[in-house]
Structure 1
């Protein structure tokens, strides 16, 4: 019950909770001021009835605007989603007006005004902190001018000028400090972003091949291990395809390594475009690639995927400098079963690849599943 009520009042988003917490705190303070006005100041005739009505209306605006707007989520995309700056200016305006028209408040007005500025220390951006503090200072000076010119108070203007000058000095210092906190938060935020970007780049370097952008051999071995564990849990099989680009050495020798790099990069692009989203392709080494195809119960399912890739390559330009150049590949496919280790399924795919290259290249060979026989000594023996 309490948790449901809490989620209703401040929501579930941690950032939303922080913003609404500030709004609720300001609402509590406003409500306290209402009790002070109605229960203490008005009955003792410390303020006039019209002044009390004005402040009741002023406070009601704050109660009906700030919290509902933030809680509705409308302000989520605004530069100041918690409406911190408007709340500071509104509360500061209340204290400055009170200082001008209600002598009973003057003894605590300046201290309260400075306390209000503290709410911006942990959330306002540097520029917002600067103009918020500047506007508050300007309103305070305007209040003194109004008191002096319009005769809103019988207080000595010179004495009040000294008090306001001191308060303005403190406000300026607090504004500078608030702006400094904002700059520190921005620097910390940018440093955090840079660190996250560096960590992502490091992760990319450690798992990706620098040329093709595909996963490297080390990461593919990790993916294979994870797929074995998943297959053991759900009972599905997966297939592994080892691909070797045909006559790649001749491409390097005749056309140069730049063209060879183009071929590798474009093969990687075509592989990513043709294969399923669940399939994982990585560079196994040199011109060799390994494709992990989850949930392929039969090797011929993987063979169909390799046929699509081969047809795509035949119709695709793999080098800008040599638009007529086409690339073929030889492929060996093996399907994992519960009797296989990772090394065994890769070895069987490699054996199938060897047969494909020996049989004339530009073809896919399937390696039969691992079987177990019995030796003459009665011991089980694995064979392909």
Structure 2
């Protein structure tokens, strides 16, 4: 690991959501510190009159508040609840307020300050949402025009409204263009984020279609085989065991022939819903095909623990209305249970469960048989 990595993580955190915003905040902090150094070591001693130097402490206080406030708030994660977690719009407005004030009190710096105002707006290009971009740009333009009007009304010494208008109004126009561009960038990011979210949702829907049975919503045969393979591998590594139950709804063909396939679909769906409710959270049930289902029970022997959940499901089904079209209809099921044996393949395990299911049917159905 890089020897500077712990320090970088301390300053920028390991949270990718905050790293970019903290980096921009630290860049702003560097600008504040550079501005303070410029004020105290060059501008104040060489360019400002004695009266103007009194404003040096105002600017210093303003910059120190920014340095001491924004980074700790963002670093703490407190601002993650906001639409603008990096407080970029607030920082733009805060910095612009200082520059507009500098425009008023330091005539020698006016042209440079107007250029800095435009530069500050660029900080919002990569992160501001459309609304925040308009807020930051609109606030900056408003502050600058308000200061120009105030100085005009107060007849500030050394301030020529007409001459300054030729600088302020074009600056406001440029600020407006920058604000519009920042808003457009925000809209583009928003569209890309929406498209990414829609793509992720569509991908998840496709994945679910590939994994689940469309009627019952349970896992399909292909995914069940994959999960049983995974359980075999896990049991081999850990030395533990698991069991499966192959479940078949009794006389399901009779349901379709007597009541129709719509009722048959209702029965399958109702069985799936009750099975998910009755079985343990660690158990996995899926539709094997037709009226057959497979239950995978990790860390379970087929005796008492394995049969208990199936017995509970049988009781629930006796009191469940399976279809509104045939409210009196009830259904039972037969099941064959088999515990995995060390070195046994998925196919061998399923074959033993199928043999046990055959015995359950041969013995009169509506029962569970454990494979030997």
TM-score surpassing 0.5?
Answer: yes
The 3-state SS of whatever aligns with 1:42 is helix
The 3-state SS of whatever aligns with 2:168 is helix
Report the alpha carbon displacement of residue 153 of structure 1 after superposing the two structures with TM. Answer: 4.4
Q: Which residue is 2:15 aligned to?
A: 13
Task: Return closer, same or farther for 1:298/1:285 CA change in 2, 3 Å cut-off.
Answer: closer
Report the alpha carbon displacement of residue 216 of structure 1 after superposing the two structures with TM. Answer: 0.4
8 A contact 2:89–2:135 mirrored in 1: no
Cα distance in 2 for partners of 1:349, 1:125 equals: 59
Query: Deviations for 1:229-265, whole angstroms, at most 9, x for unmatched residues?
Result: 1111011122111111011111111112221111111
Number of aligned residue pairs:
368
Residues 42-81 of structure 1: pairs in structure 2 closer than 5 A: 42-44=44-46, 46-47=48-49, 48-81=52-85
Q: Which residue is 2:165 aligned to?
A: 161
TM-score (norm 2): 0.95
Residue 268, structure 1, aligned to residue 282, structure 2: no
8 A contact 1:246–1:361 mirrored in 2: yes
Which stretches in structure 2 are left out of the alignment for 5+ residues? none
Task: Return closer, same or farther for 1:161/1:331 CA change in 2, 3 Å cut-off.
Answer: same
| 19, 22, 25: which one aligns with 1:23 | 25
Cα distance in 1 for partners of 2:187, 2:334 equals: 59
8 A contact 1:330–1:362 mirrored in 2: yes
Report the alpha carbon displacement of residue 266 of structure 1 after superposing the two structures with TM. Answer: 1.1
Query: Deviations for 1:334-371, whole angstroms, at most 9, x for unmatched residues?
Result: 11101422111111111111111111110111111xxx
8 A contact 1:126–1:183 mirrored in 2: yes
Report the alpha carbon displacement of residue 283 of structure 1 after superposing the two structures with TM. Answer: 0.2
8 A contact 1:299–1:334 mirrored in 2: no
Residues 75-90 of structure 1: pairs in structure 2 closer than 5 A: 75-90=79-94
Report the alpha carbon displacement of residue 131 of structure 1 after superposing the two structures with TM. Answer: 2.4
Q: Which residue is 1:363 aligned to?
A: 367
Q: Which 10-residue stretch deviates more, 283-292 or 21-30?
A: 21-30
Q: Which residue is 1:352 aligned to?
A: 356
Q: Which residue is 1:323 aligned to?
A: 327
Which stretches in structure 1 are left out of the alignment for 5+ residues? 369-384
The 3-state SS of whatever aligns with 1:334 is strand
Q: Which residue is 2:211 aligned to?
A: 207
Cα distance in 1 for partners of 2:118, 2:246 equals: 71
| 133, 136, 151: which one aligns with 1:147 | 151
8 A contact 2:47–2:108 mirrored in 1: no
Query: Deviations for 1:256-302, whole angstroms, at most 9, x for unmatched residues?
Result: 22211111111111111111111110000011101111122454532
Cα distance in 2 for partners of 1:341, 1:21 equals: 54
Residues 288-307 of structure 1: pairs in structure 2 closer than 5 A: 288-307=292-311
The 3-state SS of whatever aligns with 1:80 is coil
Cα distance in 2 for partners of 1:339, 1:30 equals: 69
Residue 194, structure 1, aligned to residue 198, structure 2: yes
Q: Which residue is 1:105 aligned to?
A: 109
